[in-house]
Every structure is written in C-alpha cells, then in structure tokens.
Amino acid sequence: MTIRNLNNSPTGLTRRSALAVTGGALTAGALSRATSAQGAVTLRWWSPQSVPAQLAAYKLQIETFEAANPGIKVVFEPTSDETYAAQLAAAFASGQVPNIVTHLPSFAVGNYWRSGLLEPFNDVIQMVGPEKFYPGANRIYEVEPGVFAGAGIGGTAANSLWLRTDLMKKAGIAEAPKTWDELRTAARKMQGGGIYGAPLPYARNSMTTLIFICFIHLAGGQVFTPDLQVAIDSPETLNALEFYKSMRELCPPGATSYSWGESLTAFVSGATATGIYTGRVLANVNAQNPSIKDSITCTTYPSISASVPSWTFNDFPSMFIPKAAKDMGATKKFAAHIYAPEGYIKQLHAAPGHVLPVLKTIADDPKYQDNPIIAKYANEVKIMAAASAGGFNLGFESAKHKPNAKAGEVVNSAVIAEMVQRVCLNNEDPKKIVGETAQRIEKIVKG
C-alpha cells in the first residue's frame, strides 16, 4: 500500500509527527497542551453497530483513550443501517457532524468523498501502520493513487448461506446446496411444522436491495459494467427475479417487511431452515437459542449453476472522518486508537465471526483466537474469512470494475428493492420493470 502524506490537511500530520498506534499517535503531551489552550475537547463517534456486547467494547476503547488523553472526551451515538443516510445528510447540511463514523458500507464512503465531505484518512493509516493491514484491505477506499477516503474497520461475508444440519439430516439432504435448484429443493424438503425454508427479504429497504444485487451476480450478471455503464437490464437479472419470486412461498409471511434484524432472527430463532447473514449468527444462536448451536454451519451462497462462481457481498465496514469535524488532531488520534489490540479485539469478539479483522497482526494474535465461539466454529469462520477477502459490493462489483461513487445513491434510492417488490409481490411484467429500473438508475448516475 502506497500512501501519500497529505501535508495540506488541517493537522499537517506526517509519519514523523505520529507514533505507531501501539505507542501512541501524537504525543499525549502535545495533545494535552493543545487541549489546554483550546479548552475541553469532546469527540462524537457514530455507528449503526450497537448491540450490548459491542457497546461494552466501545466503552473500553473510549475509557482507555480518555485515560491516556486527559481533557478529551468521547461520546458514542448509535445510528441505524436504515436511517444513517438521512441522519448524515442532516449533519452535513447543518455542519454538526460527528468526528468519526464507523461500520458504514464502503460505497457510502465513496459517495461522501465525491461530494467533498470527507477528510483524507492517510494520516490515520500511517499512525496504525499500513503494513499491518491485509494486502488490499483498503483498496476500495483509494479514491486516487495514494489517497484514501477511509479505511476498513473489518470485513464481512454478509450473504453467507446458513444451514441447519439437523434438519438436513432429517430431510435426507447429504450435502450443502451448490446451485439454486438444489437450494430451492432443500428448502422445500426442510419446510414444515412451523419451519420455513428461507428468510429472504422482500421489503422496500437496503437489505432487499443489497441481497438482490448478490442474486444478480449469482446469476452471472452485474448492475454496472466495469466502466460503469448501467447493465442491470439483462437476462441474468430476469433469471435472478424468477428464482427470487419462486422462493417467496418458502419464506415466512413477514418477509415482506424483513430487514437485516428480522432475517437474522428468523434463522436464529429456528423459524427458518436456512439463513442469509454474516457470522453474527454464531453469537446470537449461542446466546438466544443454544438448543441448535451444534446443528448450524455455513457455506458460500449457491449460484444459478456450477458454471457461475459464487459472489460474496462484503460491505467492507468502514471508518471515516467528516471534513467539517472539529478537533481534527484529536479525532485522528482516536481513530487510530480504535485499532489498538485490546479494544479492537474486544470489539471483534462482541460478535465473533460477524466483523472479521482487517489487520493481519490482529488475526494472528492469540488473544483474538482465544475465543470460545471462534474456536468452536473455526471452519465456519475460515470459510467466511476467505469469502470476505474475495468479496465485493455495488461500489466495487469485481476486480475489473472501477470504483462506483454512485453506488450509495443507487442503494439509498431503493429502486432495486422496488423492482423486486413489483415483480415478486405484485406480479408485474419482469421485462418491463427491469427496463424501467435501468432507466431510473441511469437518471441517478447522470443526476
């Protein structure tokens, strides 16, 4: 990773003026003097990831930072996967922005950077040590050679296929499904007795949009060409819609309003035989429904046929800094502190296997590996880690694709989710609706 030092940034930090995160970023004395001169500093941290165990990790990260930096306070403010776009739009418009935002998908970062709203993240990466990141971990944030709009705080395999091995055995299913036909057959065999086959979403929200983008790729298609021309109007999209519609009868009635939480709960509670989610399934099953903890496993989601490779949705949970944030020096120091081993490992352990480390030094750390869930489900974590490492999303659909700065706008518009609803729920003509959807995406791109 080659990083350009941006000496015209508000802090003018360079490698020489920063220490590695393990030894501190700016010296505590320098920051304390700055704080004394300017009065008390309060930093605001936003994230949509805020389950109790994660909040406990954030509390540790905040407390250790505050102890090392008298006069600086950090306040955590939870957001939502479904409402962050509106919340940030309001914050950017008013100028009352948070100092740090974490766990948003990478395509959101690209959109905000394109609008001139973000501070370059180079200084923070230098503080952490670029050599500590997995090779290519931040490639999606490199908006121009050597300039990074943000960095990854983790990796995910968000469309992993979760399976109940006990139900598979009962239904006489020997192997995990590898194609859509096999998946539909397996789901149909396991459905019954109050258990549905799958928890796919059909609501007008980001989960339906993002999951259906996965299905377009699993059909061998794409939303944009590598040079970012709209390509959703294709036979592959029609095939994906046909399969997705056929799965509706195998999903709970409430799937028409499912978002991430409802889909997750459906599998964890035992209401569905398969699931589609990240590794958060592991912690939730063990905490909420331990009766099935020895009967769950995961694999990559099946594609339309053996000739089409699987496609993993990695939203590349991010960290970025709004350009209008106050106290930029302290902000960057705290951003680097979030990667410090003690707190970062505790954050990853809050939902083991859900967000996977982007620092190879952490993945190799015995303290990270010393977790009962990671140890118990070592094979599942290995499968997800490999899948996420080769994963993509709408902002970066393949290794051949240019970064797509319009991806966030397309997702937030819900035009793809509306396409799914109109075809799968309203029985409208697929060819007509896909063509209209392509035109709507064209307008977003040109807008």
> Residue ranges of the alpha helices (H) in 269-371?
280-288, 328-337, 341-349, 360-363, 366-369
CA distance 54 to 350: 5
| Domains along the chain with CATH numbers | 41-153+315-376 (3.40.190.10), 160-311+392-446 (3.40.190.10)
Give me the sheet containing 160-164, strands edge to edge: 274-277, 160-164, 296-299
185-192, long-range: CB within 8 Å, 24+ apart, which pairs?
186/273, 186/274, 187/247, 187/250, 187/273, 187/274, 188/250, 190/164, 190/273, 190/274, 191/250, 191/273
Closest to 209 in 3D by CA, of 188, 182, 232, 225: 232
The model's pTM is 0.80
Bridge partners, residue 296, by sequence:
164
CA distance 271 to 267: 6
Side-chain-facing half-sphere of 124: CA atoms under 13 Å: 29
Q: Angle CA(133)–CA(134)–CA(139) in degrees, nearest 5?
A: 90
CB atoms within 10 A of CB 263: 26
In the 8-state DSSP scheme, what is residue 359?
Answer: B
In the 8-state DSSP scheme, what is residue 137?
Answer: T
**One digit per residue, pLDDT tens: the chain, 447 residues?**
434 434 333 333 232 233 233 233 333 333 333 333 455 899 999 999 998 999 999 999 999 999 999 999 999 999 988 889 999 999 999 999 999 999 999 888 988 998 999 999 999 999 999 999 988 889 889 888 899 999 999 999 999 999 999 999 999 999 999 999 999 999 999 999 999 999 999 999 999 999 999 999 999 999 999 999 999 999 999 999 999 999 999 999 999 999 999 999 999 999 999 999 999 999 999 999 999 999 999 999 999 999 999 999 998 899 999 999 999 999 999 999 999 999 999 999 998 999 999 999 998 899 999 999 999 999 999 899 889 988 999 999 998 998 898 999 999 999 999 999 999 999 999 999 999 999 999 999 998
CA distance 294 to 72: 45
CA distance 381 to 385: 6
CB atoms within 10 A of CB 145: 7
Is residue 57 exposed (0-12), middle (13-18) or buried (19+ Cβ within 10 Å)?
A: buried
